[in-house]
Amino acid sequence: MTKKNIKILIVDDHLALREGLKVILQLEPDFVIIGEAEDGKQAIKLARTLIPDVIIMDMDLGDMHGTEVTELILAHQPDICVIGFSMHTDPELAEAMRKVGAKAYLSKSDAPDQLISAIRRYKKTVESEEHRYADQCKR
């Protein structure tokens, strides 16, 4: 099995945060930042054209809310792993993100390794599904 890179799209209206995330995530050899969006409309467009594996999604994007953007993206691309990423620690917001299909919800105050772990969990799930599919095809 070949080792696959994880293609990541960062969605946040703050440039400094996007830049900081890029620095941290690019330290992981199999993480590739394929794009970044500063608002919801740009996120939807980039998700359709770049086809990321993972989207790190802020909640307050100016033009749209992260839950709305997540729902619109996943309606057309359900295989993308969306991770909610916000300064808000409200459990109701985390639940709203899960209801629209996000795989995880993290606070921006969490340690960076928690975000990396969430992305790695996604990769393990995908690899497990690919392995299971390959086994079924051999039968």
pLDDT digits (tens, 9 = 90+) for 8-57: 999 999 999 999 999 999 999 999 999 999 999 999 999 999 999 999 99
| Summary mean pLDDT of the chain | 91
Spacing of C-alpha 47 from chain mean position: 10
Domain spanning 6-138: which superfamily? Response regulator (3.40.50.2300)
Domain ranges of the chain: 6-138
Spacing of C-alpha 107 from chain mean position: 14
% of the chain beyond a pLDDT of 90:
81
Residue scoring higher pLDDT (84 or 139): 84
pLDDT score for 47? 99
Residue scoring higher pLDDT (123 or 64): 64
Helices and strands (DSSP H and E) totals, the chain: 5, 5
pLDDT score for 2? 52
